[in-house]
A = this chain, B = another copy of it.
Amino acid sequence: MDENGDSGTDSCPDEAWAFDVFSKQCPSRGTLEHVTGRWGSLTLSALHEGSLRFNALRRRVDGVSEKMLSQTLHALERDGLVHREAQPTNPPRVDYELTPLGRQVAERLLALIELVEGRMDEVLAARGRYDEVHAARGTP
């Protein structure tokens, strides 16, 4: 197995410790990265609409490779956000769905995503302004 994740290195220094994302070396940062990561966020969002099978998920999350989807799902399953339900039929069928905790996370994530999507016009406008100002290098 690959398991190139952060497993192993992510333990708090010692003693009781607030799980503060701001401090390097604390596990909440790792989990946050799984959740907010490029594929993690999209996977959780897709799953919020209902349980999906591997390839359906792959189609829904445009651009993800088999490898990354598999890796992402393992990380999310390990963190207890996604539940994997395999049926030993032939051909095999595996469904992925959010756990209760995963659903809560996905809701917050969706709130964020919807905000960003809904304000993209502002973002694009800001970019236009920024680029115009900073393009003043070489065009006097």
Interface positions of A (Cβ within 8 A of B): 7, 18-24, 27-28, 31-33, 35-38, 41-42, 45-46, 60-63, 77-81, 101, 104-105, 108-109, 111-113, 115-117, 119-120, 122-127, 129-131
Residue of B nearest to A127 (CB): B78
Which residue of A24, A108, A125, A129 has the most chain B CB atoms within 10 A of its CB atom? Answer: A108
Q: Are B116 and A105 in contact (CB under 8 A)?
A: yes
In the assembly, how many copies of this chain are there?
A: 2
Interface residues of chain A: helix, strand, loop or mixed (majority)? helix
- Using A21-B116, A24-B62 as known contacts, list a sample of 16 further A-B pairs with CB atoms less than 8 Å apart, ordered by residue number in A: A19-B117, A21-B113, A22-B62, A23-B62, A32-B41, A35-B116, A36-B36, A36-B41, A36-B112, A78-B126, A78-B127, A78-B130, A79-B127, A101-B119, A105-B112, A109-B112
Chain B residues near A125 (CB, 8 Å)? 80
